[in-house]
């Protein structure tokens, strides 16, 4: 299992070359941050999933920085940010908006959902649209309309799915160790009986 995980995770050299992570400097290469331990992998996965659902940008540098601060496994933190990617952003943040609206007791009415202006409707970003307002004004108004419910939903998803990732990795790790121990015991018993 550990060998499979190592193949899936980014290497120390790949992260060292990453221009977004260079600012972490030598602290990022402490051996404990790269060790394949249950606690480090579980915490790294939780950190990565947390940032994956919290914000759509700068997930990798933020998760790596927090992994350094909390002494979690950096490759696990970086790799797990990929659970939410540009293909999944729209449905995830739409669901976060719906959940946030529900948690705030607001009606998540589709008619109230903001319609972001079409980038092709005008060549000048500041030119007025149908209601005489510019692109940026309409975009900011649209973001204000979803801001609070979206933020509440995104934080709820980040904390919930981050905790789920932590406990899931811990559980799978424990199960793997237990099954491996049982298999060794069975081999030992069959060898002693023979």
Evaluate if pTM is beyond 0.95.
Answer: no
How close are the terminal C-alpha atoms of the chain, in Å?
30
Q: Are 159 and 166 in contact (CB under 8 A)?
A: no
Domain assignments of the chain as residue spans, ordered by start: 2-86+158-193, 89-150
Closest CA to 108 of 150, 140, 80: 150
Q: What is the pLDDT along the chain (194 residues), one digit of tens a residue?
A: 556 656 666 676 776 677 766 666 666 666 666 667 888 999 999 999 999 999 888 898 899 889 988 889 988 998 999 998 888 888 888 899 899 989 988 876 665 554 544 443 444 444 455 555 676 776 677 667 778 888 899 999 999 999 999 999 999 988 988 988 888 888 877 766 65
CB contact set of 108 (below 8 Å; sequence gap of 6+): 97, 98, 101, 102, 149
Q: Which residues of 20-38 are buried (b: 16+ CB within 10 A; e: fewer)?
A: ebeebeeebeeeebbeeee
**pLDDT given at position 194:** 55
């Amino acid at each position: 299992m550990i060998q499979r995980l190592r193949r899936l995770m980014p290497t120390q050299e790949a992260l060292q070359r990453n221009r977004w992570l260079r600012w972490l400097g030598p602290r990022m290469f402490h051996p404990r941050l790269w060790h394949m331990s249950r606690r480090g992998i579980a915490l790294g996965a939780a950190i990565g999933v947390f940032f994956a659902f919290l914000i759509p940008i700068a997930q990798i540098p933020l998760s790596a920085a927090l992994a350094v601060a909390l002494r979690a496994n950096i490759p696990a933190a970086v790799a797990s940010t990929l659970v939410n990617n540009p293909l999944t952003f729209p449905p995830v943040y739409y669901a976060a908006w719906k959940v946030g609206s529900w948690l705030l007791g607001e009606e998540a009415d589709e008619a109230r959902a903001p319609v972001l202006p079409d980038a092709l409707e005008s060549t000048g970003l500041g030119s007025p649209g149908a209601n005489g307002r510019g692109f940026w004004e309409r975009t900011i108004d649209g973001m204000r309309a979803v801001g609070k419910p979206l933020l509440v939903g995104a934080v709820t998803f980040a904390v919930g799915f981050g905790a789920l990732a932590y406990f899931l990795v811990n559980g799978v790790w424990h199960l793997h160790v237990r099954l491996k121990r049982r298999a060794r015991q069975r081999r030992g018993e069959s060898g002693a009986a023979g």
